[in-house]
Amino acid sequence: MLGRIKRLVVLLCFVLANCDSAAVYDTYKSFPNEWHKDSVASFRFTAPDTTQSYNLFVNLRNNNDYDYNNLYLIVELQYPHGKTLKDTLEYKMAKPNGELLGTGFSDVKENKLWYRGYQDIFRFDEEGDYIVNVQHAMRNNGKVNGIVNLEGVTEVGFRIERVENK
């Protein structure tokens, strides 16, 4: 009986893991203790179908050591033929009472942060390899210099999802 339950649990996990048919690319870089301001999470991938629309996300896992209600990121998208888009983005990370936003049952929360595709359709209009670089740009209020070691961020990821045409 116990063996049957174990097999059922493994099968269920396998099915749930493969239900994410929209994901084209989804990977993470780990920052075990803190995220240094000069540490860049870099993601290289080959352009998926250039005729399809996509949503692009920066994924972030953080724990209770994250002391801020927002997050500033510098995200750079390098195209295969030399074009580069660079954005400074701000994301809300906590409620006014300090409770961290995101999903998760433990003190680790996962946040799926929009990068491209939420306002305008995004397509990879060049074939070849793209690179996405993500770096934090946090600073304390009233301070000129940025935070050197950002505590509480454990992993930074990048995700591409195919948009289903309707």
At residue 166, the pLDDT reads: 52
**Percentage of the residues of the chain whose pLDDT score is greater than 70:** 87
C-alpha–C-alpha distance, residues 102 and 69, integer Å? 12
Residue 8 binned pLDDT confidence (cut-offs 50, 70, 90): very low
Residue 152 corresponds to which tokens in the numbers above?
A: 């509480």
Q: Are 132 and 158 in contact (CB under 8 A)?
A: yes
Helices (H) and strands (E) in the chain, counts: 1, 10
Give first-to-last CA distance, the chain, whole Å: 45
Q: Taking the CA atoms of 25, 29, 90 and 73 in sequence, report the sign of the dihedral they define.
A: negative
For all residues of the chain together, what is the average pLDDT? 87
43 versus 146: which is more confidently predicted? 43
Look-up: residue for tokens 């990821």? 157
Asked if the model's pLDDT at residue 17 lies above 80, the reply is no
Asked if the model's pLDDT at residue 52 lies above 70, the reply is yes
Q: Stretch 96-120: mean pLDDT, rounded?
A: 90
Instruction: Give pTM, 2 decimals.
Output: 0.83
Domain boundaries, the chain: 22-162
166 versus 80: which is more confidently predicted? 80
C-alpha–C-alpha distance, residues 153 and 30, integer Å? 9
Strands 23-30 and 84-92, bridge-based pairing: unpaired
SS3 102: coil
**Helices (DSSP H) in the chain: which residue ranges?**
2-17
Asked if the model's pLDDT at residue 107 lies above 90, the reply is no
Asked if the model's pLDDT at residue 7 lies above 60, the reply is no
Of 147, 133, 155, 157, nearest in space to 36 by CA: 147
At residue 165, the pLDDT reads: 67
124-140 tens-digit pLDDT: 999 999 999 999 999 98
C-alpha–C-alpha distance, residues 41 and 36, integer Å? 11
Domain covering 22-162 in this structure, CATH number: 2.60.120
Strands (E), 33-128: 34-36, 41-46, 54-62, 70-78, 84-92, 109-116
At residue 99, the pLDDT reads: 87
Residue 18 binned pLDDT confidence (cut-offs 50, 70, 90): very low
